[in-house]
Amino acid sequence: QVHIVESGGGLVQPGGSLRLSCTPSLSIFSIYPIGWYRQAPGKQRELVAAITSYSSTNYADSVKGRFTISRDNAKNTVVLQMNSLKPDDTAVYYCNVGGPEYGSWGQGTQVTVSS
């Protein structure tokens, strides 16, 4: 079982920025794909951004140009930089290691965008 520590959520005004971090307890961190997902009340969990072991990235259309995912293999950390936040970005954000079907999930961190 992988232990995943997430941090960086909070309350921010529209147009503001937040930086989410995901640090899994993995001995060979660099080989795993990492994804950030989110789930808003009454909605299904959806992929926000993902990064492969080769640092190839993928984004949901709704966040392209605003969010950036990156990884630092030396620090076992993946960061999701979120800029120009909108109220529709409000959700619980989850870090996933190894894919949504068989991988491991963090406990989630709340992001609220509101004035």
| pLDDT recorded at residue 14 | 98
Alpha-carbon distance 67 to 49, whole Å?
8
Question: In 3-state terms, what secondary structure has residue 87?
Answer: helix
Tokens found for residue 69 = 């995912």
Across 68-83, average pLDDT: 94
| pLDDT recorded at residue 31 | 81
Provide the pLDDT confidence category of residue 2 given band limits of 50, 70 and 90.
Answer: confident
Alpha-carbon distance 72 to 51, whole Å?
11
Provide the pLDDT confidence category of residue 40 given band limits of 50, 70 and 90.
Answer: very high
Average pLDDT, the chain: 94
Question: In 3-state terms, what secondary structure has residue 110?
Answer: strand
Q: What digits encode the pLDDT tens for the residues 7-38? A: 999 999 999 999 999 999 887 777 889 999 99
